[in-house]
Structure 1
Amino acid sequence: MTQSVLTRPPVPADPPPTPAARGRRRRGQGVAYLFLSPWIIGAALLTIGPMVASLYLSFTDYDLFEAPTWIGVDNYVTMFTGDERFWHAAWTTTEYVLVSVPLKLGLALAVAMLLNRARKGVGLYRSAFYAPSLLGASVSVALAWRAMFSTDGTVDRVLSSVGLDLGGWVDQPQYALLTLVALAVWQFGAPMVIFLAGLKQVPRELYEAAAIDGAGPGRRFLSVTLPMLSPVILFNLVLETIHAFQAFTGAFVVSSGRGGPSDSTLLYPLYLYQRGFTDFRMGYASAMAWVLLVVVAVLTALVFRSARRWVFYAGENR
């Protein structure tokens, strides 16, 4: 039997495709590219083209009115060695990201766990909690937010009624950035929905087995919920970090486009806007944009690299 297996003739390879089959394949590829052509043209004209142009402009002195003048890496040298507001904006943005992203994800996970239980009217609650994510980036909401946190605004009156006379948050450097953080955390609906979808995929048998072993609610959360949700946490962490580094509308509206008071709300995208469209230094603004792109790309790569230690997938042995 062994000899017969060893002497079995090789299986003949599939015959090469006929000219008619190759023609049908090419026609099928042509149809696919035809349907993809709007996306390809849009990506080339609206994404790849502007990115290449901005990379070129980052090495020029360009004021939007005259032809760009090549200056090499002068914009980058000035940015890192002679622009104190650049470093201030970078640090302010770092503080904003480090505070807003964990708070937003923590609140989203907590609400998702509450809404994961079957109860009457749960669909209405899910819609209500998701609604701020649809409205939060609008200028009208940012204007309302500024009015709420201004002197003698709603928040000031409520805090004064309980003996906390803090004044208007948007008018004080030590509290102004917290206004933007609160606006970002209020928009927790999108990551909440993603967490909710992940919770639906956690097998109930794992919770039952943990309960039989004597694990309480806290232990079940740490040993079952978090490991099973770790891929979803990774997705939300990367997405919300990128969004936080791009925050602009709230900072622009709340500070009237100045980043005040005392540059306390001068986020990086707002300073980039000031350089490009207020100071008309579009070359410098392009250089700032590419620095932001590189920083976000590096941070995203580091998060994915660290995911090997804390992200678990079903059926994976560690």
Structure 2
Amino acid sequence: MTQRLTPSTAALLVVPPLLWAGNAVVGRLVVGLVPPITLNFLRWTLAFILLLPLAAWVLAPSSLLWAHWRRYALLGLLGVGLYNAFQYMALGTSTPINVTLVASSMPLWMLAIGRVFFQTPIARTQLVGAAFSMAGVALVLSRGEWTQLAQLKLVPGDVYMLVATMCWAFYSWLLARTAEPAAVRGDWAAFLLAQMVFGLGWSGLLTAGEWALTDAAHIEWGWPLVATLLYVAIGPAVLAYRAWGLGVQRAGPAVAGFFSNLTPVFAAVLSTLFLGEAPHLYHAAAFALIVAGIVVSSRK
């Protein structure tokens, strides 16, 4: 059942799209400096180090984590190992705005996966909300001129991002299914660290494959890459995942999914700021449509 949003829950769910928009922008900036899957592995390694002092107890042999290792292995695969790896791969051939726009099909995947795999009914208000939100996304994509949609062409990066979006939808539904003891679930750092333990294993395997199969794999260390790693580890990883996990628990995956449509709006604004261009009226109109979709979808 969908739940009404409180201001605090809405604020929690706005933070991740903003940070993820920045993630797409900086991920695009370091293309050529580091392979995409390696970037994902370095990001989560640093995030793991940052969280370790807060929840090292979860790694103890007597920890309640190991009794639910299958669940954390799956969460780590989807949320840590695959989602961001596919996103960074997508940024190799697609722009930040296009990547975040493809990711904005999230509400539709949330509703479909919830219905097919978790037997969750789809409310009429959710369908109406999805229509509003997708209209806002289309407005950004067309830059205020609907005729531009006819010229849209998909590139390999868009396909990668579509796969990433499906992984994230499954991940979000699994977050809402509480299976672990309260000692782990109630400690956000421990809950995220438990996912990272297995996620780093998956990501490490994928990174090894990337270096073994790619002759041109290399890393160009310097302040741009170091600054990027610090941002993606602290912001889109630790802070965004914390806010998203708590928001999903409060509002449910279906309602939370609509907030992901704010990402392309934020990405468009950040991109225009980096390019020195003034925001356009269609950005405000798209924002209004997306917010309308959130409000409508969250109504009982």
Structure number with the higher helix fraction is 2
TM-score by length of 2: 0.30
**More contact order relative to length (CA 8 Å, sep ≥ 6):** 2
